[in-house]
Amino acid sequence: MGGTRVDTAARFGNRRHDWLRKTITVFATALLVSSAGATVATAAPVHAPVLRAPAGGYEELWVPSSMGPIKVQVQWAARGGSAAVYLLDGLRAPHDHSQWASDTDALRQFVGDNVTLVLPVGGHSSFYTDWYRPSSTNGQRVTYKWETFLTQELPAFLEGYGVSRSNNAVVGASMGGNAALILAAYHRDQFRFAGSFSGYVNPTFPLWNEAMRAAMRDEGNFNVDDMWGPAGDPAWSRNDATVQAERLRGLPMYLWTGNGVPGLPDLPYGVGNTLNAMSLEAMTQVANQIFRNRVAALGIGARIDFGQGTHTWPYWGQALATARPMILDALGAR
């Protein structure tokens, strides 16, 4: 659900743990290596809004939230436009930067466009959702409220810089992919485009709750029951993009997933990590096929591509480049 050795395996090393040998399905494997990790930033001065969007340039903001100040990396629209693209990380989301900035060329791709890139930092094992309570297995002190942050606190703060609250796109990789679709599904007044790259877009699929449990335990010792409750709790269906597909009707969407076959982008990562990335992407392919069948049955339009590749950042950077014209058109930011 969230990232890769796939999530910068080169940096974080080979994270193959004992639970990988014990999990009864490859679903747990699919979630283990998910996306980059760390913890939410907890202290820093808050920027004072300038009541206008700067024309171009890069800035790091600290945004107040119920979770404490959250760091947000921002590349301002080239000509001071008000449209924005939110980019979401995966399971191992680092505490100090977005992997979209470090592991892809997302900033370069949009540097000349009249749209602001918004890269929230943190969200480690959060699924970018509002949790029921703090995780009971790792001493977490605050309750994750990422949906509230991304749809209320952050847009209210950015509005002070002239960024629109109603003309935005949201794109996520791996764990962030399903989150992007869910955020757009429930906040159509905010988002006009949604993108999911290698997203696990059907978390109510049998055994996925246990796969997520294993992955979140491994990545920070988080307890999935404190997020959405046990399997069968309504929160699981509420946060399943396939189940909530009807809410996405009429929204421009782009979904990409690989077929698990490695290519040149996998060469720097080594055999072990590539094998993990292959199994991860095989699972995302299944989830995206289920989503594709669901929207087709409902007559909902979406572009869904299945290409060569594994569960790792270079492919997601390529998918973002494919999505870029669609994003700019949806936001009127050409």
Q: Which of 174, 196, 198, 279 does the annotation list as catalytic?
A: 174
Q: What φ, ψ does residue 262 adopt, rounded to 5°? A: -70, 155
**What is the C-alpha separation between 142 and 140, in angstroms, rounded?**
6
Residues 288 and 201: beta-carbon distance below 8 Å: yes
Which run of H or E residues covers position 330?
helix 313-331
**What is the C-alpha separation between 229 and 240, in angstroms, rounded?**
14
Structure tokens at 10: 């080169």
3-class SS of residue 119: strand
**What is the C-alpha separation between 37 and 255, in angstroms, rounded?**
23
174 carries an active-site annotation? yes
Helix (H), strand (E) counts: the chain: 13, 8
**What is the C-alpha separation between 314 and 8, in angstroms, rounded?**
10
- Residues 6+ positions from 104 with CB-CB distance below 8 Å: 313, 314, 316, 317, 320
311 carries an active-site annotation? yes
CB atoms near residue 208 (< 10 Å): 23
- Give, in order, the Cα–Cα distances in Å from 128 to each of 56, 290, 318, 333: 27, 22, 23, 26
Q: Give the amino acid at 146.
A: W
Structure tokens at 285: 């392919």
**What is the C-alpha separation between 137 and 222, in angstroms, rounded?**
6
Measure the CA dihedral 314/124/9/73, to 10°.
50
Radius of gyration of the chain (CA): 18
153 carries an active-site annotation? no
Q: Which are the catalytic amino acids?
A: 174, 281, 311
